[in-house]
Structure 1
């Protein structure tokens, strides 16, 4: 039997996420071997905005695919550049995990309960901009590292809290450590957050077919709208842009709802808009909402942050 080599980053979260995909493929009768690959984003401890941001966690995996070292690569979709790579096929986007952000804080505190001047860690300009926009008087401090490293900063008292993606905690079995799940009305997630991307070589029809059974149409429509908005704004994954799309039942069938925010790191000004459309027109919905945001001055906010 042919063994499919699945490329993954070496972090605990990446291996766990890749393991979920491997298990689903094994359930279809396919043999899968995980191959760990080191990426620039894993090796560097610089803030993402200082060494490229967009694509730093996926470039090495993609090159391994092209060389034929692996047959499949699994990424956190929010890390994937919006510009397509013609050498590769985004063959499957499985059903999304909870896309919301969470707070992990000392003493079980929520954002509203943190005292003035509390130190909240995040390496995301998107989170920093939206947190500052809430006007809570907390101090946003930079942080890098895996989930263990970030939560340990709270346990040690270096930070009063850290902001993380709930999807990662759920996949690691650590969701109970969050002290608050943040409402998207307060903090919209990164485009694609909570979703996984399964890539293979564009000319590998057999693997494309194998992966296609993992694809979730509602998730693909939602993240297509979010990433289309991001691409039209010409903003990378480290820009202060949040977006969340959902497919819901409307009066005339399924509808796609897209909300987005572009903010200044200082918290003001902030542009928040929404749009609706058909799931089959997801890319156009994202483009249309981005155009409305650009008309409101979003390009200036993205340029200042980049």
Structure 2
């Protein structure tokens, strides 16, 4: 095969993720060239909901794939819309990083140690809803920016703490800034958080064959369940959603355990439900749990009129 052209956004995190994939492919004997793609989300300072939401980062890269300017792309999986793209395929989901959220707070404080009235920054309606539901008396302020910018809001004293994805800090070598890893019992991550998606054109059998070696079956099963739940909920409610699937030992075989959250951003309503199903049927499991949430009231929940982004890793 000739050189694989790997499209990447220009952000530090996106480039780091793409280089990690490029290194794995190089180890398998392939030659890889990184091709920088600038997206609307990288150059706009507006909230993501104002410029197109989740898909704003994926659309430019997908356009380059379709035009044949690149052969494959690496996305943060939670950045990908759940709607299928018939001419594109996620050829691999590599081993997933820790999907949990983390707190970066002044003076090494944990969430429970923050005094009442402390100001916590996040760009995520999902985090806002779950933090508010904890009833800690903190003020939650919407923010946007790269990892350095967000952590800088704490070190400068502008905020008492920020909440970020652990996976992004791991990839950037910034785990020393973390003051607490948040238990999913308190804050469930976004569907697909911590996972990468390697995407290419469906008609490129050569690229698919090269990339499939990086696929991790457990990671793929978990994110398929989470995204199936999200896809069904997006059709029936606009509430912030969190989800986490895990591979567990069943009585006779491996199973998937899926936990999910849907709630109001003011924290007054929170629905938390869980379900266990066959490892081989992740999509069906996600859809079933989504139906339970909808039946239990998720369909009546509405997002805030102008929510911020649920993607702290967008720019770095």
Q: TM-score range by the shorter chain?
A: over 0.9
Match of 1:220 in 2: 220
Deviation at 1:51, TM superposition (A): 2.8
Match of 1:61 in 2: 61
Match of 2:161 in 1: 161
Residues 239 and 263, structure 2, Cα contact 8 Å, conserved in 1:
no
TM-score by length of 2: 0.94
Residues 48 and 123, structure 1, Cα contact 8 Å, conserved in 2:
no
Deviation at 1:300, TM superposition (A): 2.0
Which SS does the other structure have where 2:222 is aligned? helix
In 2, Cα distance between equivalents of 1:302 and 1:101: 23
| Alignment length (residue pairs) | 305
1:255 aligns with 2:255: yes
**Of the two structures, which has the highest relative contact order with CA contacts closer than 8 Å and spacing of 6 or more?**
2
Deviation at 1:54, TM superposition (A): 2.2
Matches within 5 A, 1:143-162: 143-162=143-162
- Which one is further off, 208-217 or 49-58? 49-58
Which string of whole-angstrom CA distances, capped at 9 and with x for unpartnered residues, describes residues 15-72 of structure 1?
0011110000000000001111111221222222333312111111111110111101
Which string of whole-angstrom CA distances, capped at 9 and with x for unpartnered residues, describes residues 74-96 of structure 1?
00000100011111111000010
Residues 58 and 75, structure 2, Cα contact 8 Å, conserved in 1:
yes
Residues 93 and 196, structure 2, Cα contact 8 Å, conserved in 1:
yes
Residues 130 and 187, structure 2, Cα contact 8 Å, conserved in 1:
yes
Which string of whole-angstrom CA distances, capped at 9 and with x for unpartnered residues, describes residues 78-123 of structure 1?
0100011111111000010000000001110111111111111111
Match of 2:14 in 1: 14
Match of 2:314 in 1: none
1:197 aligns with 2:169: no
In 1, Cα distance between equivalents of 2:22 and 2:78: 20
Deviation at 1:303, TM superposition (A): 5.5
Match of 2:107 in 1: 107
In 2, Cα distance between equivalents of 1:18 and 1:197: 10
* Structure 1 gap ranges (5+): none
Deviation at 1:302, TM superposition (A): 4.3
Residues 262 and 302, structure 1, Cα contact 8 Å, conserved in 2:
no
In 2, Cα distance between equivalents of 1:235 and 1:258: 19
Which SS does the other structure have where 1:56 is aligned? helix
Which string of whole-angstrom CA distances, capped at 9 and with x for unpartnered residues, describes residues 191-226 of structure 1?
000000000011000000111000001111100000
* Structure 2 gap ranges (5+): 308-316
Which string of whole-angstrom CA distances, capped at 9 and with x for unpartnered residues, describes residues 133-192 of structure 1?
001111111111111111111111111111000001111111121000000000000000
In 2, Cα distance between equivalents of 1:86 and 1:20: 27
Deviation at 1:239, TM superposition (A): 5.2
Which SS does the other structure have where 2:53 is aligned? coil
After superposition, the CA RMSD in angstroms is 1.5
Residues 1:185 and 1:160: Cα distance change in structure 2 (over 3 Å): same
Match of 1:270 in 2: 270
Which SS does the other structure have where 2:287 is aligned? helix
Deviation at 1:234, TM superposition (A): 1.4
In 2, Cα distance between equivalents of 1:135 and 1:56: 33
In 1, Cα distance between equivalents of 2:22 and 2:259: 32
Match of 1:47 in 2: 47
TM-score by length of 1: 0.97
